[in-house]
Amino acid sequence: MSKVEEFEELRPLLFSIAYRILGSVSEAEDAVQETWLRFDGSATQPTSTKALLSATVTRISIDVLRSARVRREEYVGPWFPEPLLSDPYQDPARSVELADSVSMAALLLLERLSPLERAVFVLREVFGFGFDEVAAAVGRSEAACRQLLVRARRHMEAGRPRFEAVRKEREELASRFFGALREGDVASLQELLAADVSMVGDGGGKAPQLARAVIGAKNVARLLASIFLQMARIDVTFEPHEINGQPGAIFRDRDGKVLHTLVLDVLDGQIQTIRSVINPDKLGHVGPVADAWAIDREVRQARKDLDATNRPEDLVVEGPRH
Protein backbone atom coordinates (compact mmCIF):
# COMPACT_ATOMS: atom_id res chain seq x y z
CA MET A 1 0.00 0.00 0.00
CA SER A 2 1.01 3.60 -0.48
CA LYS A 3 1.59 5.87 2.51
CA VAL A 4 -1.78 7.49 1.99
CA GLU A 5 -3.55 4.12 1.90
CA GLU A 6 -1.74 2.92 5.03
CA PHE A 7 -2.66 6.08 6.87
CA GLU A 8 -6.31 6.09 5.79
CA GLU A 9 -6.70 2.49 6.90
CA LEU A 10 -5.51 3.49 10.38
CA ARG A 11 -7.27 6.85 10.57
CA PRO A 12 -10.32 5.54 12.52
CA LEU A 13 -8.04 4.04 15.19
CA LEU A 14 -5.94 7.20 15.42
CA PHE A 15 -9.00 9.42 15.81
CA SER A 16 -10.49 7.15 18.45
CA ILE A 17 -7.27 7.21 20.49
CA ALA A 18 -7.00 11.00 20.23
CA TYR A 19 -10.66 11.61 21.08
CA ARG A 20 -10.47 9.53 24.26
CA ILE A 21 -7.34 11.36 25.38
CA LEU A 22 -8.67 14.82 24.49
CA GLY A 23 -12.46 14.63 24.78
CA SER A 24 -12.70 16.91 21.76
CA VAL A 25 -13.67 16.00 18.20
CA SER A 26 -11.99 19.06 16.69
CA GLU A 27 -8.75 18.63 18.65
CA ALA A 28 -8.68 14.91 17.85
CA GLU A 29 -9.07 15.65 14.14
CA ASP A 30 -6.23 18.19 14.36
CA ALA A 31 -4.03 15.64 16.14
CA VAL A 32 -4.70 13.07 13.42
CA GLN A 33 -3.88 15.62 10.71
CA GLU A 34 -0.62 16.52 12.45
CA THR A 35 0.20 12.81 12.66
CA TRP A 36 -0.24 12.52 8.91
CA LEU A 37 2.04 15.49 8.25
CA ARG A 38 4.80 13.97 10.36
CA PHE A 39 4.35 10.55 8.77
CA ASP A 40 4.30 11.98 5.26
CA GLY A 41 7.44 14.02 5.93
CA SER A 42 9.45 11.08 7.26
CA ALA A 43 11.65 9.00 4.96
CA THR A 44 11.99 6.19 7.52
CA GLN A 45 10.13 2.96 6.85
CA PRO A 46 8.72 1.77 10.21
CA THR A 47 8.64 -1.85 11.31
CA SER A 48 5.01 -1.34 12.29
CA THR A 49 3.07 1.56 10.80
CA LYS A 50 0.28 1.04 13.32
CA ALA A 51 2.67 1.27 16.28
CA LEU A 52 4.40 4.33 14.85
CA LEU A 53 1.23 6.27 14.06
CA SER A 54 -0.45 5.30 17.33
CA ALA A 55 2.59 6.52 19.25
CA THR A 56 2.72 9.73 17.25
CA VAL A 57 -0.93 10.62 17.71
CA THR A 58 -0.66 9.78 21.42
CA ARG A 59 2.32 12.09 21.98
CA ILE A 60 0.62 14.90 20.06
CA SER A 61 -2.58 14.41 22.07
CA ILE A 62 -0.68 14.48 25.38
CA ASP A 63 0.90 17.82 24.43
CA VAL A 64 -2.47 19.26 23.39
CA LEU A 65 -4.13 18.01 26.58
CA ARG A 66 -1.52 19.67 28.80
CA SER A 67 -2.36 23.07 27.35
CA ALA A 68 -6.10 22.32 27.21
CA ARG A 69 -6.22 21.53 30.93
CA VAL A 70 -5.32 25.14 31.72
CA ARG A 71 -8.18 26.39 29.54
CA ARG A 72 -10.60 23.93 31.12
CA GLU A 73 -9.75 25.21 34.61
CA GLU A 74 -10.95 28.64 33.49
CA TYR A 75 -14.03 27.29 31.71
CA VAL A 76 -17.36 28.95 32.53
CA GLY A 77 -19.68 26.41 34.15
CA PRO A 78 -19.52 22.61 33.78
CA TRP A 79 -17.22 21.25 31.06
CA PHE A 80 -18.39 18.28 28.99
CA PRO A 81 -16.64 16.48 26.11
CA GLU A 82 -17.67 17.37 22.57
CA PRO A 83 -20.53 15.04 21.59
CA LEU A 84 -19.48 12.13 19.39
CA LEU A 85 -22.23 10.83 17.11
CA SER A 86 -20.39 7.68 16.06
CA ASP A 87 -17.04 6.10 16.85
CA PRO A 88 -15.24 5.42 13.55
CA TYR A 89 -13.15 2.59 15.01
CA GLN A 90 -14.71 -0.81 15.62
CA ASP A 91 -13.11 -3.93 17.06
CA PRO A 92 -15.45 -6.82 17.92
CA ALA A 93 -12.85 -8.24 20.30
CA ARG A 94 -12.88 -5.04 22.38
CA SER A 95 -16.42 -3.79 21.81
CA VAL A 96 -17.22 -3.55 25.55
CA GLU A 97 -14.10 -1.53 26.35
CA LEU A 98 -14.63 0.76 23.37
CA ALA A 99 -18.28 1.45 24.19
CA ASP A 100 -17.68 1.98 27.90
CA SER A 101 -14.73 4.32 27.39
CA VAL A 102 -16.53 6.75 25.06
CA SER A 103 -19.52 7.49 27.32
CA MET A 104 -19.80 10.99 28.76
CA ALA A 105 -19.48 9.56 32.28
CA ALA A 106 -16.23 7.73 31.46
CA LEU A 107 -14.72 10.69 29.60
CA LEU A 108 -15.46 12.97 32.56
CA LEU A 109 -13.71 10.49 34.86
CA LEU A 110 -10.72 10.47 32.52
CA GLU A 111 -10.46 14.22 33.14
CA ARG A 112 -9.34 13.38 36.68
CA LEU A 113 -6.20 11.67 35.39
CA SER A 114 -2.91 13.28 34.49
CA PRO A 115 -2.19 13.39 30.73
CA LEU A 116 0.26 10.48 31.02
CA GLU A 117 -2.13 8.39 33.14
CA ARG A 118 -4.91 9.08 30.68
CA ALA A 119 -2.83 8.08 27.66
CA VAL A 120 -1.60 4.87 29.32
CA PHE A 121 -5.13 3.93 30.41
CA VAL A 122 -6.56 4.54 26.94
CA LEU A 123 -3.87 2.61 25.08
CA ARG A 124 -3.73 -0.34 27.47
CA GLU A 125 -7.27 -0.71 28.88
CA VAL A 126 -9.33 0.47 25.93
CA PHE A 127 -7.29 -0.57 22.90
CA GLY A 128 -5.28 -3.45 24.39
CA PHE A 129 -1.79 -2.28 23.39
CA GLY A 130 1.14 -4.19 24.87
CA PHE A 131 3.15 -2.48 27.59
CA ASP A 132 6.12 -2.24 25.23
CA GLU A 133 3.97 -0.29 22.74
CA VAL A 134 2.51 1.88 25.50
CA ALA A 135 5.97 2.66 26.85
CA ALA A 136 7.22 3.63 23.40
CA ALA A 137 4.18 5.86 22.84
CA VAL A 138 4.47 7.86 26.07
CA GLY A 139 8.25 7.84 26.40
CA ARG A 140 8.39 6.02 29.74
CA SER A 141 9.70 2.63 30.85
CA GLU A 142 7.36 -0.36 30.98
CA ALA A 143 7.65 -0.39 34.77
CA ALA A 144 6.65 3.27 34.95
CA CYS A 145 3.69 2.61 32.64
CA ARG A 146 2.51 -0.20 34.88
CA GLN A 147 2.54 2.18 37.83
CA LEU A 148 0.70 4.85 35.82
CA LEU A 149 -1.93 2.27 34.89
CA VAL A 150 -2.41 1.20 38.53
CA ARG A 151 -3.05 4.82 39.56
CA ALA A 152 -5.35 5.41 36.58
CA ARG A 153 -7.41 2.29 37.32
CA ARG A 154 -7.77 3.34 40.96
CA HIS A 155 -9.16 6.74 39.97
CA MET A 156 -11.49 5.30 37.35
CA GLU A 157 -12.91 2.49 39.47
CA ALA A 158 -13.48 4.82 42.44
CA GLY A 159 -15.97 6.95 40.56
CA ARG A 160 -17.36 4.95 37.66
CA PRO A 161 -20.83 3.48 37.62
CA ARG A 162 -21.16 1.14 34.66
CA PHE A 163 -24.03 1.99 32.37
CA GLU A 164 -24.32 -1.54 31.07
CA ALA A 165 -28.08 -1.67 30.58
CA VAL A 166 -29.07 -4.07 27.82
CA ARG A 167 -29.18 -2.05 24.61
CA LYS A 168 -32.79 -2.98 23.83
CA GLU A 169 -33.99 -2.00 27.32
CA ARG A 170 -32.02 1.23 27.18
CA GLU A 171 -33.47 2.13 23.78
CA GLU A 172 -37.01 1.36 24.98
CA LEU A 173 -36.56 3.59 28.03
CA ALA A 174 -35.13 6.38 25.88
CA SER A 175 -38.05 6.04 23.45
CA ARG A 176 -40.53 6.41 26.30
CA PHE A 177 -38.58 9.38 27.65
CA PHE A 178 -38.55 11.27 24.36
CA GLY A 179 -42.20 10.41 23.74
CA ALA A 180 -43.14 11.89 27.10
CA LEU A 181 -40.96 14.91 26.37
CA ARG A 182 -42.80 15.58 23.10
CA GLU A 183 -46.11 15.41 24.94
CA GLY A 184 -44.92 17.53 27.86
CA ASP A 185 -46.08 14.68 30.12
CA VAL A 186 -44.55 15.51 33.50
CA ALA A 187 -45.87 12.39 35.26
CA SER A 188 -44.50 10.00 32.62
CA LEU A 189 -41.14 11.77 32.60
CA GLN A 190 -40.91 11.57 36.37
CA GLU A 191 -41.54 7.81 36.33
CA LEU A 192 -38.45 7.29 34.13
CA LEU A 193 -36.09 9.36 36.27
CA ALA A 194 -34.10 8.21 39.28
CA ALA A 195 -35.13 9.95 42.51
CA ASP A 196 -31.80 11.80 42.64
CA VAL A 197 -31.45 12.40 38.89
CA SER A 198 -29.44 15.46 37.90
CA MET A 199 -29.66 17.61 34.78
CA VAL A 200 -26.61 19.66 33.85
CA GLY A 201 -25.82 21.90 30.87
CA ASP A 202 -22.55 22.98 29.23
CA GLY A 203 -22.83 26.40 27.61
CA GLY A 204 -19.29 27.57 28.34
CA GLY A 205 -20.57 31.11 28.81
CA LYS A 206 -21.32 31.25 25.08
CA ALA A 207 -24.96 30.15 25.19
CA PRO A 208 -27.85 30.22 27.67
CA GLN A 209 -27.37 27.52 30.27
CA LEU A 210 -28.70 26.40 33.62
CA ALA A 211 -27.29 28.44 36.48
CA ARG A 212 -26.70 25.19 38.37
CA ALA A 213 -27.53 21.51 38.18
CA VAL A 214 -31.21 20.65 38.63
CA ILE A 215 -31.62 17.76 41.07
CA GLY A 216 -34.55 15.43 41.75
CA ALA A 217 -37.07 13.62 39.54
CA LYS A 218 -39.92 16.05 40.16
CA ASN A 219 -37.85 19.16 39.48
CA VAL A 220 -36.18 17.75 36.37
CA ALA A 221 -39.45 16.42 34.90
CA ARG A 222 -41.21 19.76 35.36
CA LEU A 223 -38.32 21.74 33.91
CA LEU A 224 -37.91 19.46 30.90
CA ALA A 225 -41.61 19.54 30.03
CA SER A 226 -41.78 23.30 30.44
CA ILE A 227 -38.66 24.04 28.39
CA PHE A 228 -39.58 21.78 25.49
CA LEU A 229 -43.17 23.00 25.22
CA GLN A 230 -41.88 26.57 25.11
CA MET A 231 -39.31 25.71 22.43
CA ALA A 232 -41.85 23.71 20.44
CA ARG A 233 -43.94 26.87 20.09
CA ILE A 234 -41.12 28.40 18.03
CA ASP A 235 -40.62 25.21 15.99
CA VAL A 236 -37.63 23.76 17.83
CA THR A 237 -37.58 20.01 17.20
CA PHE A 238 -35.39 17.07 18.19
CA GLU A 239 -34.32 13.79 16.68
CA PRO A 240 -33.30 10.87 18.92
CA HIS A 241 -29.70 9.90 18.14
CA GLU A 242 -27.09 7.79 19.90
CA ILE A 243 -24.39 10.10 21.26
CA ASN A 244 -21.16 8.86 22.85
CA GLY A 245 -22.63 5.37 22.75
CA GLN A 246 -25.61 6.42 24.87
CA PRO A 247 -29.23 7.31 24.09
CA GLY A 248 -29.57 10.98 23.28
CA ALA A 249 -31.00 13.54 20.91
CA ILE A 250 -30.03 16.45 18.69
CA PHE A 251 -32.20 19.56 19.05
CA ARG A 252 -32.61 21.83 16.03
CA ASP A 253 -34.19 25.20 15.27
CA ARG A 254 -36.80 25.73 12.56
CA ASP A 255 -34.04 25.96 9.94
CA GLY A 256 -32.54 22.63 10.94
CA LYS A 257 -29.51 24.17 12.66
CA VAL A 258 -28.12 22.44 15.75
CA LEU A 259 -29.20 24.05 19.02
CA HIS A 260 -27.84 21.49 21.47
CA THR A 261 -27.38 17.80 22.16
CA LEU A 262 -28.76 15.85 25.10
CA VAL A 263 -27.43 12.54 26.49
CA LEU A 264 -29.01 10.14 28.99
CA ASP A 265 -27.08 8.02 31.50
CA VAL A 266 -29.16 4.90 32.16
CA LEU A 267 -28.60 2.60 35.13
CA ASP A 268 -30.89 0.08 36.86
CA GLY A 269 -33.78 0.87 34.53
CA GLN A 270 -33.81 4.59 35.26
CA ILE A 271 -32.23 7.76 33.94
CA GLN A 272 -29.54 8.86 36.36
CA THR A 273 -28.06 11.91 34.64
CA ILE A 274 -29.08 14.16 31.76
CA ARG A 275 -26.30 16.16 30.12
CA SER A 276 -26.80 18.87 27.54
CA VAL A 277 -24.09 20.46 25.41
CA ILE A 278 -25.15 23.87 24.05
CA ASN A 279 -21.74 25.58 23.71
CA PRO A 280 -21.65 26.41 19.97
CA ASP A 281 -17.88 25.80 19.86
CA LYS A 282 -18.56 22.12 20.59
CA LEU A 283 -21.30 21.55 18.02
CA GLY A 284 -19.81 22.59 14.67
CA HIS A 285 -18.94 19.01 13.71
CA VAL A 286 -22.59 17.99 14.21
CA GLY A 287 -23.86 20.52 11.64
CA PRO A 288 -24.54 24.24 11.13
CA VAL A 289 -25.06 25.74 14.60
CA ALA A 290 -28.11 27.73 15.66
CA ASP A 291 -27.97 31.07 17.48
CA ALA A 292 -28.90 29.91 20.98
CA TRP A 293 -29.20 33.47 22.30
CA ALA A 294 -31.68 34.35 19.56
CA ILE A 295 -33.67 31.20 20.37
CA ASP A 296 -33.69 32.18 24.03
CA ARG A 297 -35.00 35.66 23.22
CA GLU A 298 -37.68 34.21 20.95
CA VAL A 299 -38.80 31.77 23.65
CA ARG A 300 -39.05 34.59 26.18
CA GLN A 301 -41.08 36.70 23.77
CA ALA A 302 -43.39 33.79 22.96
CA ARG A 303 -43.94 33.29 26.67
CA LYS A 304 -44.83 36.97 27.11
CA ASP A 305 -47.23 36.84 24.16
CA LEU A 306 -48.88 33.74 25.59
CA ASP A 307 -49.25 35.37 28.99
CA ALA A 308 -50.77 38.44 27.37
CA THR A 309 -53.22 36.31 25.38
CA ASN A 310 -54.33 34.42 28.46
CA ARG A 311 -54.69 37.51 30.63
CA PRO A 312 -58.31 38.45 31.47
CA GLU A 313 -59.64 41.61 29.85
CA ASP A 314 -59.04 44.73 31.90
CA LEU A 315 -62.00 45.23 34.18
CA VAL A 316 -63.72 48.63 34.36
CA VAL A 317 -64.20 49.34 38.00
CA GLU A 318 -66.99 51.71 38.74
CA GLY A 319 -66.74 54.08 41.58
CA PRO A 320 -69.12 53.85 44.52
CA ARG A 321 -72.64 54.87 43.75
CA HIS A 322 -74.27 57.51 45.78
Sequential DSSP letters for 134-197: HHHHHTS-HHHHHHHHHHHHHHHHHH-------HHHHHHHHHHHHHHHHHT-HHHHHHHEEEEE
Please tell me the pTM assigned to this model: 0.90
Cα–Cα distance for residue pair 123/139, rounded to 1 Å: 13
Res 214: pLDDT: 96
Closest by CA to 202, choosing from 257, 275, 252, is 275
Res 164: pLDDT: 54
Cβ atoms of 196 and 145 within 8 Å: the answer is no
The pLDDT averaged over each successive group of 10 residues in the chain (322 residues) is: 93 98 97 97 89 97 92 90 96 90 93 96 97 96 97 86 67 96 96 97 92 94 94 95 96 97 92 96 97 94 75 41 36
| DSSP at 319 | P
Q: What is the DSSP string of 46-74?
A: -S-HHHHHHHHHHHHHHHHHHHHHHHHHT
Res 321: pLDDT: 37
Res 314: pLDDT: 40
Cα–Cα distance for residue pair 123/32, rounded to 1 Å: 16
